[in-house]
Amino acid sequence: MTKYLTTLIEEKGHSIHEEITIDGHFGITYKMLIDFVAQMTECHANIRKTLVKIDFCNGDVFDYLGHLANGMVASCGY
């Protein structure tokens, strides 16, 4: 999953070290999100399936990644 997300983000013209905009938070990067998602092995299939659907329909995968990042922040109690 780490390789898949890294490749997807970089193919879309972004860096994994780029910050994700989340209200009230700063310094959260795609790399941090990738590391977080990599630990949730039970969710990998659903996350990949959703990203593939979004990409196939020419949607913005970064909207979904932002959604995941908000969930990451919420689950960490920030």
pTM for the complete prediction? 0.90
- Cα separation, 57 vs 73, whole angstroms: 28
pLDDT tens figures, 40-73 = 999 999 999 999 999 999 999 999 999 999 999 9
Domain count, the chain: 1
For the chain, the farthest-separated pair of C-alpha atoms sits apart, in whole angstroms, at 33
Integer Cα distance of 21 and 33 in angstroms: 12
Q: How far is CA 40 from CA 9, 33, 43, 46, 60, in A?
A: 19, 11, 6, 11, 23
Q: What is the mean pLDDT of residues 34-38?
A: 96
Q: Which of residues 53 and 76 earns the better pLDDT score?
A: 53
